Amino acid sequence: MEMYTDVLLVTANVGSLFDNVGEIESDWMREFFGTVQSHKPRFIALHFQEVGGKDYMVNMGHAENFFWNIESNEEMRDFDRVCTYVDNHFKNVDSFTALGSMYFIHKSLKNIYQYDFNVKDFKAVSGQNKYVGSLDEVTTVEKEKFLKNFWPDFKWSRKGFMRTRWIIHNQGLDLVNVHLFHDASNLIACNASPSIYSDNRQKALRYVINRISDSSYTPLPFFLFGDFNFRLDTLSLVQNLSTSAVVQTVKKDSSNEVEKIICEQKDNDHKVLLHIETKTFAYLHQAVFTEDNGRAILKYDKEISAFHDVITEEDILFPPSYPYSEDYTKPTQYMNTRCPSWCDRILMSHTAQDIIHRRDEGASNVVYNTMGPNVCMGDHKPVFLSFALKTNGH
């Protein structure tokens, strides 16, 4: 007999939540609980990146509070089992990832087991299981920080991945929290297509996929969700946006290094159409990123295409998830710091796509969207996937 279990997967880079303590957090919570209410899942997986924000040494206590506030909220009372993993052990520089994963199991969901990577077997889940600190000794999670020697030319940062493994009514799956490298400079990002940053992310993602598909454990369908930091093909996009413009490259006096790129409109009083610096990306017609959910620029979102052999994704019908203004009063506006991109994603193996139940044409029960589109959620809008998982069972 085919059964279904309603599942909600959410990924959220919450760095700016901790860097701007206060109003954003309560709105964030409200949007999250609203999403839970409207989709009524029986299993929820929340993957967080940049727990504690940039100033994590100061903010970690606040981060623990944040997890507790979600868990203890009245809205979550029907979820009687919770597994929380927060890597906040920042003193251990070699392994600190600032990743956090929370899993909620509804009281009506009976047959659910979690994998113990140490004894290589599944165990029934019960009660509240909370692991905060160093996760090195925790046997129900696998965590890895990307090694320094992978990317010798790059500033080493708290990027990596964390995996848990589950059986829901006889259906096994891996849930992997991922945080890949960002674009450090807009100027370098538009030097080549694909950019050097894009190449780095590709290497890292290939590494993660190989690690979770290797022969250490039986391969299972997997969902990878997190902040992939995927960026648009900046060089092609800039060429396209500036076709009818005069492009000036301003160099630093002493060296030959490019300091800024300015594209001016040929007529229209030479209005600046596009201004790019290391941490500035200001485009005059910002609406191109939001109109029709940014569909016109989706063709520049190319980073996943190298992985079509192993992973897939639901259609993107929402505007870029980053970098939104952190100004409370401008929840739908992007900051002029980076080119807006679909950084936050929920990707899956082809085998995982096969276990998503799809109703007949017309009524789609699979929803892939951003959370809080009209509310300030920080610089990243969380992204969620709601679907019914095919679970064979009794």
| Alpha-carbon span 280 to 265, nearest angstrom | 19
* Residue 319 confidence (pLDDT) above 70: yes
* Residue-level length of the chain: 394
Domain 4-232+289-390, second-level architecture: 4-Layer Sandwich (3.60)
Per DSSP, which regions of 171-232 are E strands?
Answer: 171-179, 222-227
| Alpha-carbon span 17 to 28, nearest angstrom | 9
Of 182, 128, 130, 138, the C-alpha closest to 162 is: 138
- What is the DSSP secondary structure assignment for residue 391, as one 8-state letter? E
φ/ψ of 223, rounded to 5, equals -115, 125
pTM above 0.85, yes or no: yes
| Predicted pLDDT of residue 102 | 98
Q: How many CB atoms lie under 10 A from the CB of residue 90?
A: 16
| Alpha-carbon span 217 to 213, nearest angstrom | 8
Q: How far is CA 100 from CA 60, 130, 252, 383, in A?
A: 12, 11, 41, 16
* Residue 140 confidence (pLDDT) above 70: yes
| Predicted pLDDT of residue 162 | 97
Residues 112 and 5: beta-carbon distance below 8 Å:
no
Of 257 and 370, which is predicted with more confidence? 370
Q: What is the DSSP string of 56-123?
A: HHHHHHHHHHHHHHHHHSGGGTTEEEEEEEEE--TT-TTT----EEEEEEETT---EEEEETTTTEEE
Condensed to tens digits (0 to 9), the pLDDT of residues 59-115 reads 888 888 999 999 999 999 999 999 999 999 888 888 999 999 999 999 999 999 999
pLDDT band at 253 (very low <50, low <70, confident <90, very high): confident
| Alpha-carbon span 157 to 148, nearest angstrom | 9
Least-confidence region, from 134-138, 147-151, 187-191: 147-151
Pairing mode, strands 171-179 and 222-227: parallel
Residue that the structure tokens 């979820």 belong to: 79
Residue 108: exposure state from Cβ atoms within 10 A (0-12, 13-18, ≥19):
exposed
| Predicted pLDDT of residue 148 | 75
| Alpha-carbon span 82 to 68, nearest angstrom | 11
| Alpha-carbon span 144 to 12, nearest angstrom | 19
Q: Which residues have CB under 8 Å from 340's CB, separation 6+?
A: 232, 289, 294, 319, 320, 322, 323, 334
Residue 236 tokens, joined = 């092609």
| Predicted pLDDT of residue 93 | 84
Condensed to tens digits (0 to 9), the pLDDT of residues 264-295 reads 988 777 889 999 999 999 998 899 999 999 99
Mean pLDDT, the chain, integer: 91
Q: Which residues have CB under 8 Å from 200's CB, separation 6+?
A: 151, 154, 181
Beta bridge partners of 349: 311
Instruction: Enumerate the domain spans of the chain.
Output: 4-232+289-390
Beta bridge partners of 282: 275
* Residue 394 confidence (pLDDT) above 50: no
| Predicted pLDDT of residue 393 | 54
Least-confidence region, from 227-231, 307-311, 342-346, 364-368: 364-368
Condensed to tens digits (0 to 9), the pLDDT of residues 112-130 reads 999 999 999 999 999 999 9
Residues 23 and 17: beta-carbon distance below 8 Å:
no
Report the percent of the chain where pLDDT is more than 70.
Answer: 96
Least-confidence region, from 126-130, 348-352, 377-381, 390-394: 390-394
| Predicted pLDDT of residue 151 | 63
